[in-house]
Structure 1
């Protein structure tokens, strides 16, 4: 099993290099094809301008977005042209309210979408909708690459955040090429339920399923010593020198996570290693 079609969506040259580096490493290892969608984003809200100004402002914003798209495309071609991979890159312009449609269409035909961390300093407002569009409308798994993460061709140690949810199982199935290739997969169970069919062997059935694929597994049962699950996973990833975290995305609604926070949003804000997500 391997990922053969890798997609990234670029809207900012200052944030794109970690994703490009990770794509190049994977493409070389798995003989995959890289696709870079370079978008200039029109962030205008034309309905709010005074009468008579709409056409002029719309033309200006479109001109600026086209210039940004060409700059991003040049950056992608320069970067990928130095790699020993098969790649393609194309540019386009999208309004911020409609960017999800463009991303979803391309993600639908990709095995894996690799994107920069959507939260943090100097991140554009379009970064979060791009991640969500790839997962929810494109139905593709997403690998988030933090700014300072080192690219890997094959992860040595992988952490799975396992809570028996549908989202977590979907992420695990999508991540099987990584899991099979890894030296060790640690199934992390945080505060397992005291009552239920798996209370005496939390993570046991998942470990059995993965072992039948040839995955070497260990189960780590952790207490919830910190208020946020993401903090526990990040700390355990650092303690075990993990190369990647696999977890289900948005077990709660995206609106609730945007307002109140949640494991997915917190993880995307704080992760120091690549995070593999699926919904």
Structure 2
């Protein structure tokens, strides 16, 4: 497996630089194709259309969203063209309530989705639904890239969060192209269960599986000395100078959809290095 179709979804010029640069770097490294979906967001509440809202007001919001999409597409074209990678761009407008459908459709046909952090100063409210749609509806692996620290080329040290869950294994399998190229992969097990199937050798079977792919592994068994597992992982990332975290994405049911769980949200809020997640 490799990353040949790499999608990024842009909704704001203020947060577009990091995912564009990351997408281009990965497309170059894996000889893949970077695709940028540039969405102008119509933030008009859906109910306004049925409450007698002034037609001029509605038209104004649509026109503004269309202009935003065009500006985003120009930015994406200029940025990706300079990198020399293979790329394409597309522009459109969508309401916040309907964004998930568009993002999920393209995510299903992508090997990897690269997005900016969905939380922080200057980040729009639409950023979180974009991440949720790619993960839970599109079922694609998502690489969330902070503005200040992108993954340049091959990772040196990768931290893999392992808790024997299906979500964690899904993320690891989807991250294999990056794990294979890394200098070292650290399998992190936090408070392994005393009566679990791996009680005598936490992380051992995973390390064996990865080693057969040529991945150099080490296993770190940690005690939960902080209230949140995500805080412990972030601290260990700093201690080991890791430049990528791989972990499962967990959510809560919202009718037929899902929303990010607390641990996943906390990790995306505080992580200072790229985080690759899958569900």
The two structures have a TM-score, normalised by structure 1, of 0.95
SS in 1 for 2:210: helix
- What CA distance in whole angstroms lies between the structure 2 residues aligned with 1:37 and 1:229? 33
Corresponding residue for 2:239?
239
- What CA distance in whole angstroms lies between the structure 1 residues aligned with 2:205 and 2:30? 29
Corresponding residue for 2:78?
78
Q: Please, which moves more after superposition, 44-53 or 60-69?
A: 44-53
Corresponding residue for 2:204?
204
TM-superposed CA distance for 1:124, in Å, is: 0.8
* Preserved contact between residue 113 and residue 140 of structure 1 (Cα < 8 Å): yes
Corresponding residue for 1:15?
15
Size of the aligned set, in residue pairs, is 276
- What CA distance in whole angstroms lies between the structure 1 residues aligned with 2:38 and 2:11? 6
- What CA distance in whole angstroms lies between the structure 1 residues aligned with 2:126 and 2:92? 15
Change (3 A) 1:59 1:143: same
Q: Please, which moves more after superposition, 53-62 or 170-179?
A: 53-62
TM-superposed CA distance for 1:52, in Å, is: 4.2
Alignment of 1:20-31 (within 5 A): 20-31=20-31
Root mean square deviation, CA, Å: 1.6
Does 2:147 align with 1:167? no
SS in 1 for 2:9: strand
- What CA distance in whole angstroms lies between the structure 1 residues aligned with 2:54 and 2:239? 55
* Preserved contact between residue 157 and residue 244 of structure 1 (Cα < 8 Å): yes
TM-superposed CA distance for 1:197, in Å, is: 2.2
Q: Deviations over 1:160-213 (max 9, x none)?
A: 000111100000011111111111100000011111221111001111111111
- What CA distance in whole angstroms lies between the structure 1 residues aligned with 2:76 and 2:87? 10
Change (3 A) 1:159 1:42: same
TM-superposed CA distance for 1:47, in Å, is: 2.0
- What CA distance in whole angstroms lies between the structure 2 residues aligned with 1:30 and 1:258? 31
Q: Deviations over 1:125-158 (max 9, x none)?
A: 1101101111111111000001111332111110
- What CA distance in whole angstroms lies between the structure 2 residues aligned with 1:167 and 1:53? 44
TM-superposed CA distance for 1:50, in Å, is: 8.7
Corresponding residue for 1:90?
90
- What CA distance in whole angstroms lies between the structure 1 residues aligned with 2:94 and 2:191? 44
* Preserved contact between residue 159 and residue 242 of structure 1 (Cα < 8 Å): yes
Does 2:57 align with 1:57? yes
* Preserved contact between residue 175 and residue 246 of structure 2 (Cα < 8 Å): yes
Alignment of 1:1-279 (within 5 A): 1-48=1-48, 52-250=52-250, 252-253=251-252, 262-279=262-279
SS in 1 for 2:16: helix
- What CA distance in whole angstroms lies between the structure 1 residues aligned with 2:153 and 2:253? 31
Unpaired runs of 5+ residues, structure 2, are none
* Preserved contact between residue 21 and residue 151 of structure 1 (Cα < 8 Å): no
SS in 1 for 2:83: coil
Change (3 A) 1:50 1:248: closer
SS in 2 for 1:89: strand
- What CA distance in whole angstroms lies between the structure 2 residues aligned with 1:108 and 1:73? 22
SS in 2 for 1:154: coil
